[in-house]
Structure 1
Amino acid sequence: MVETGGFLLAALAVFLQRDAWAAVPLSAVLVAEALRAHPQTGHPVTGALLTFVHLVAAALWGGTLVHVLRARSRPLLIGYARLAAWLFAVVVATGLVSALLLVPFSDLATTSYGQVLLAKLVLVAAASALAVTARRHLKRHQTPRRPAGIEAAVLAGVLALSAVLTVLPAPAQTDPSLPFAPPADGPVVPAATRAGEIGISARASAGQLVIDLTAPATGERADERYELAATFADPRGRSRPLKLRGCGTGCFYAPVPWRDGTSRVTLAASAEGWTGGRAGLTISWPPRPADAELREAVTEMKSVPGFTLHELLTSNTTLGLGNAMTLHTTGERFLASDPYGSGTAPVSTRLPDQNGHRRIAVAYPAEHLQLTLTLDDDGRVLHEILAGPNHLITRTFVYPELAEGH
């Protein structure tokens, strides 16, 4: 609305033969476009300033050229030639920086925005070549009307392509952040780990993967304070980077076409003020509910009169798995403090057997908590890994008959 009003007021000023008055509404047009254009969306201050300077220089370049051609004055052409060199440098410099903010090199030739931008750059290069030709004509005391006229036509083409760019979505904007994670479609396969001081919990469901990062103190942390890069390897070993989208504070979403078998996700996580690092998740697809196995494990553990628990606890995996602790307890007492002690969980799924033992994953998404349990033939827990927002706990269970070698 501001731009439309500015153009109308400028036209009115020209109609009333008050050309100088048109400068004010046209300046408002430039400011409004700087606030509306693509670069400011990701870089509010820098992007708007770049667009404003770019538009001012481009308007002076094209407008002055048209005025000089109409005047047909050699001294005016000479003065314009000096000015055009500076204007060209400003237009190209600000245009290139804006393009780098908007379009990754990998998307330059594969997206509509990148292709139109390349066409615009070709026309700008052609206009610069024509400007150089016109300058040579001036040095030879010739009137450079023909190359200058073609230059004006080419700049009109540049203007047309610029108009097209304003309505095309920039590659950096094609995957904007989501207000929240998409809901799971069907059963879920949970996975969790820790990278340095950052807790990682993931939920794999049909066609998607949602990953939550949690630092020891969340408080007023903003989305951009968490950073995550992910590489996906399918069961056949084919690897590719995942295109992640934000879905809230510390939340990242990626579409993933899961294949039957075991897929691996390699992560590099960081959060401002905390130690990050690399970590890996294993996703076994398709989901296989493990409610019965979880109930069986809880029932068997409640009947255990006593066992020895060896535990490692760490809040920073870059320092190792923590110091070892040993505890003698009963099954019922242990279950009273463990999340799955009731025998139920929001999410439970079977994992591939390991060394002949059954494994299940139990998750509590609201608490960003997940446990991986390895069960013996009787259904008792042999090994447990608990990944939570602030700690990674590794537990080994030794029962009396195992300790005696029977």
Structure 2
Amino acid sequence: MRVIGLISGTSADGIDAALVELNGQGYDLSISLVEGLTWPYPADLQQQILALCAGEACSLEQLAELDDAVARGFAQAAQALIAQAGPADLVASHGQTVFHRPVGRPTLPGQGPMRLGYTLQLGRGAAIAQQVGLPTLSNFRQADIEAGGEGAPLVPIVDLCLFSHPTQRRCVQNLGGIGNVAYLPPWNRQGNAPPPQVLGWDTGPANSLIDIAMHTLSEGTLTYDRDGTWAAQGNPCLPLVEAWLEHPYFRQPPPKSTGRELFGWDFFHQCHQAAQARGLSPTDLVATLTEFTAATVAHAYHTFLLAPPETVLVCGGGSQNPVLMARLQAHLPETLVQTTDALGVSANYKEAIAFAVLGYWQCQGFPGNLPAVTGATRPVILGHRSDPPWPADP
């Protein structure tokens, strides 16, 4: 099958689209990226998404309009990719996350029932299917949540298929708006089940706080720290990094997930106030947040992994920030830190590729979650299928 994977991360900096050719069954996959592109959101749409994520009030009518606008953007990304790289059989869309609430697990017996997680992605699959004229799979997180899981992270099982090694321990670290890791023990890819030692969880903020800082400190003229330019000019304040690492999330054991609800505007405002109290310059604050991001990743590995990985493969927007990559390597001196490009998988489109794989598995009736990672009670098939009501216009 030729499947288009679509995703926009919590930074809402555009829609990543990947046309992927897939062969095989279950974990025995052959995966080839045909073409990828990033479709930018119009500036006003991006601001509406970020405002909603920041907790601004929104009527139900406005939410419906925003949902339609996001779906239109995702459909345009798929159509542009088809025009550039040829036809596809299926669209698999993660959508745009605007809210994520982790599972509420009782801390002690008898404290009442577990509260199911909740997640909301805009860009409904039915609207994409209508506009592109192809079957569209969406709402990938819901089935895992209904099985008692976090609905996140979903990508580690795909990472296992793409990057596992027969003798090496590896971590695949995504640095999107929020960071997440997949820990891959040695695996020779034999048998029908993944190794039980696979782990995965959200490590904390990646680009989310840095992006908010850039938007705030540049008075809206910049949306991210291109090439780590601001961070390279500043001096990180290590006492602030240590203080921020005291947040309870970093001590919470996996499975766990988070989002801008925890590491967004409110958290940034606290960071900004603390930086101002210490007399930090704008570039010092960006350098400190960049150092904090690298420290959260290293802290997660040191705290929750029984043995350090021999290789860390980085993807997502943060992989393009040389200062962040250098600081991550400094925190993990005995580990090789490189991007997934080194293994032939685009760091820019790896997450979109992953959802193409999850869409392919849905068509095969193959479970796409790892209960050990998400906390679900069982493996489940992910994704809701929407068929176009009529063929696309020629």
Say which structure is richer in helix.
1
* TM-score tier after normalising by the smaller chain length: under 0.3
TM (norm. structure 1) is 0.22
Q: Which has the higher contact order (CA 8 A, sep 6+)?
A: 2
Say which structure is richer in strand.
1
TM (norm. structure 2) is 0.23
